[in-house]
Structure 1
Amino acid sequence: MTNSGPTSRGKLYIVATPIGNLEDISQRAIRILNEVALIAAEDTRHSQKLLSHYQIGTRLLSLHEHNERQRADQLLSKLGNGMDLALISDAGTPLISDPGYALVNLCREAGIDVIPIPGPCAAITALCAAGLPTDKFSFKGFLPVKEMARREALGALKGDSGTCIFYEAPRRIADTVKMLVEELGPHRQLVLAKELTKTFETFKSGDAEQVLAWLLEDPLHQKGEFVLMVGPDLNVNESLPQQALDLLDSLLEVLPLKKAAAITASHYGLKKNELYQLGLQRQGR
């Protein structure tokens, strides 16, 4: 896929690839990967397995955290000369805790079209099946490696009213959950998702103390690729007045949740669905 004309520029396609199951790739992604002149990949040996599976013969070029700035300039030159390129990561959507920001930023500054080809993302895949609130969430990426910085990052979740999503390495997952118990208390709701879309995909949910116990009961529980999700602090809801929360809690003692949410919403002019979701969380404490 090479543009013609003396002033034409190439396009950069940001192509999401499977996070485990090779069937999780779109027809559009396969077509683009076949048509572009070059594919920039985080690990060419890893990505070659995907391309071989779909009989894609496009040439690969490495772009990773250690060579990204140099490669970005090189690829920008190719795009300026009319070549269409694709960027992929080892798994999932590029730039989400993966290389690519420098290249995309340069392309935007240079007026190069950057076109996303949507697909799998481990954070969203985990969140949609976790059973934690999805109306307000934040993605935090990988936690800091150094213990003090990691502890501070987790401690900052005190009072957070949304679901927080992290990636964590298997060698640190037990220590991280232990820190969560220490910083946020044993009853903060967590969900661990590991090996998403793979044969041994597992979701483990419970309070922080229960999830830590599960991790420690079998060394195999600490193996794999992890998405760690921390539920909201149920003692805090920035968008609702405390009087409404108090009324909801009182009504839940004597009425079904749907009725309690409706009465509270009517009394304070709030959204019934928001109160219903909050009630589900508070009943699960």
Structure 2
Amino acid sequence: MGIFFIIFFLTVLVYIFFSLYLSFINIDKYVENLQMLRRFFYAIFVVGISIGLMLEKINLDDWKQLLELTALFVFIDLAVFQTPDILKIWNAEFKHDHYIRKIIKKNEEIISYNSQKVECFTDIVLNKSTNYLNNIPLHLKFDDYKEDLKKFLEFYTGTFQIDLAIFEFESGLNANLEDLHSNLDIKQAFTRIEQCYNKTIVDGEWKLFLVQELLDGKAIELHNKKEVSSSDNFKDKKVFIIPFYGRKYDILIGISSTFIEVDGIDASHILNLTQIFDWYMD
């Protein structure tokens, strides 16, 4: 076997091992990018054959050699890339049924869990809020307000094992929203949040964008610009920041969890419960 075929087959082997490694470390990403992996695999075949023809290492008249190489690549494709669940072998129709079932199951779990969150929120509003809030005294200090708000929100956060932190700031909404002092104060509160969750926003422009979103009253997910916001594990747990502009106090509420993946539904429920609490405190 000549040096050309040695390099050619070594390239194929390296690519196969790379694909297998990718499937082991992240099967979801592997399946999502499978068509691209297969196209690149056959691109190696086409490029290799073309180079072989140019170097006269492969002869177009040698149909047996060409058919053997083609059959080898097709076999590798079937054995390595198309292993999962062959449903219709005669039509060469391949379905990654296991992956599809996994996605369906995950979506069903999300729907079920979100339904539980809505039920919990509804129960707090209808059955727990009035009795609890009617017995809270008037708050003269922010620390008292913060402590009672935390206890009220625990009806929700305690149910789903969500960690919660509250940070006060001056929004200047009664004055000019673009006031330098207002922006500086929320930036300082944002910095405290970064320290609390040990998560630093590296890009200065992105940080300013997140701060402006908070000033505009929008809940945000605390992550760097290039980070993927969704994950199947909780090594890098999601953190949502919820701004609330009350009658007396302006606060940023941080929520996160090592048990569940917090999302926009949690942020919405926390914001609405905080609004109800603030109404009662007026």
- With the shorter chain as reference, the TM-score category is under 0.3
**Which of structures 1 and 2 has the larger relative contact order (alpha carbons within 8 angstroms, sep 6+)?**
1
TM-score by length of 2: 0.24
- Structure 1 or 2: more strand by fraction: 1
- Structure 1 or 2: more helix by fraction: 2
TM-score by length of 1: 0.24
Higher Rg: 2
